[in-house]
Amino acid sequence: MEGKPLIAEPFGPLQGVRILSSGTLIAQPFAGELAAEMGAEVIQIERPEVGDAGWRTIGIRLETRDGGEIATNWVQERRNVFCVTLDLSQERGREIFLKLIPTCDIWMESSKPGTYAKWGITDEALWQINPKLVITHVSGFGQYGEPNYVTRASYDIVGQAFGGMMYQTGFPETPPSRAAPWTGDYITALFTMWSSLAALTHARAYGKGQAIDLAQYEAIHRTLGGTMVEYFQKGVVRERSGNRAQGFQPLDSFQTSDGFVVIGAIADVFNRLLRAIGFDEKDPRWQKARNDIESIEGIEFDAMLRGWVAERTTAEVVKHLNEFQVPCSPIMTSRDIAEDPHYRARQMHIEWEDLQAGPVKGIGVVPKFSHTPGKVWRGAPAIGHDNQRIYGELLGLSAGEIEALRRDRVI
């Protein structure tokens, strides 16, 4: 990272790392925001005047101090980030972009392949300016492959469908369902961040940057466990099974007298569950039931366990089974989570000052580091909030130059 530090009081394990982010919505920008919570300096490029119109407006919105509205997604997921506007379709915009590159360790973007190349912004051109630069390209279908796939547009639900997650999500009797809220995008963001940091580790050790080609569908597909081994080796296509596990029980959701819980009992834990509900663990019926779930014994056990659960409240089931070290949890709503003592004890929800909406409360920093903890030092900014900070203080442009750029809608 070159140039004057942007954060007055460095913190976290990623202090000294600067990331330039030019994607939109979730899959790539969320990776940058996670880094920002760990001390990295993240500069987010948005379109002049409109910004990241989708993520700033989609969903439930809060009123801002100036009488406008801002999406709760933006408030939660652009904390600590420096937001600038820049039109890369203009020559002057590209010149400014290239001036930013030497000051950064990582550039990450999300677009259809070829978008930046048509502006002359190629990986090779950027390495001429900054040989150590890590470049992370995030797209729906990758930078190469079948031509009619590579140019396709993609959203979270498309990635889940093409990546194989959606077919397995839901119940056998219902159509495939997406995993909510935007699971495919968030998975992609995590792959974006760890791969970028892996490449940065190499660049700092050997002095040479590299490009990462991250296809959203591949990140999603990578999380499917043994799905493809089962197909290639045995011809098995995994089907939807709802919340129920395949091949053993119980691992499912169960209705109590006042709500729902999930219960899991794998291997030896199954015997603890039998003791907890008053069943004889030596009874061969139940030992058969745990792995042969479609047998008469398996069906009987499932029905009896559901009956046992249905006669009790959620609190009673959770307390009793956890006393026997059987994994069990209520299915939590936002209200349940906000009132839960464990969330409170770990300070999972924090308050901060959003730069547009004022005081807000939401999800804190994850995970917790013992020596270099992350933090929220600033709320999510308005469109172009940091233009002066980045273009004036970091790049050294004069007030007149910045005003001219604004007048010409370059920023």
CA 308 to chain centre: 37
- Tell me if 143 sits within 8 A of 214, measured CB to CB: no
Alpha-carbon gap, residue 272 to 266, rounded angstroms: 10
CB count within 10 Å of CB 385 equals 20
Q: Which residues of 286-305 are buried (b: 16+ CB within 10 A; e: fewer)?
A: beebbebbeeebbeebbeeb
What pTM, to 2 d.p., does this model score? Answer: 0.93
Neighbours of 170 (CB within 10 A): 17
- pLDDT confidence of residue 175: 95
Is the distance from CB of 270 to CB of 323 less than 8 angstroms?
Answer: no
Instruction: Count other C-beta atoms under 10 Å from residue 273's C-beta.
Output: 25
pLDDT per residue as tens, the chain (411 positions): 777 899 999 999 999 999 999 999 999 999 999 999 999 999 999 999 999 988 999 999 999 999 999 999 999 999 999 999 999 999 999 999 999 999 999 999 999 999 999 999 999 999 999 999 999 999 999 999 999 999 999 999 999 999 999 999 999 999 999 999 999 999 999 999 999 999 999 999 999 999 999 999 999 999 999 999 999 999 999 999 999 888 889 999 999 999 999 999 988 899 999 999 999 888 989 989 988 889 999 999 999 999 999 999 999 999 999 999 999 999 999 999 999 999 999 999 999 999 999 999 999 999 999 999 999 999 999 999 999 999 999 999 999 999 999 999 999
User: What's the rounded Cα separation, in Å, for the pair 319 and 257?
Assistant: 15
Please report the pLDDT score of residue 233 as a whole number: 97
> Taking the domains of the chain in order of start, what are their residue ranges?
18-223+347-407, 251-255+260-330
pLDDT of residue 267: 86
Orientation of helix 269-276 relative to helix 314-323, angle to 10° = 130
Q: Are 46 and 20 in contact (CB under 8 A)?
A: no
Of the candidates 244, 254, 243, 258, the residue with the CA atom closest to the CA atom of residue 321: 254
- Rounded to the nearest 5°, which phi and psi values hold at 305? -65, -40
**pLDDT value for 209:** 98
Which residues are the active-site residues?
185
> What pLDDT is recorded for position 120?
94
Q: Compute the chain's Rg from CA coordinates.
A: 25
Cβ atoms of 301 and 290 within 8 Å: the answer is: yes
**Which of 111, 164, 173 lies closest to 137, judged by CA?**
111
Asked whether the beta carbons of 50 and 211 are under 8 A apart, the reply is: no
Q: How far apart are CA 387 and CA 314, in angstroms?
A: 52
Q: Are strands 82-85 and 41-46 parallel, antiparallel or unpaired?
A: parallel
pLDDT of residue 245: 85
Six-digit token string for 345: 């004890």
* Measured distance CA(4)–CA(393) in Å, rounded: 8
Is domain 18-223+347-407 annotated with CATH 3.40.50.10540?
A: yes
- At 281 the pLDDT is 86
Q: How far apart are CA 14 and CA 123, in angstroms?
A: 24
What local confidence, expressed as pLDDT, does residue 368 receive?
96
Burial classification of residue 214, based on how many CB atoms lie within 10 Å of its CB (0-12 exposed, 13-18 middle, 19 or more buried) = buried
356 contacts 70 by C-beta, under 8 angstroms = yes
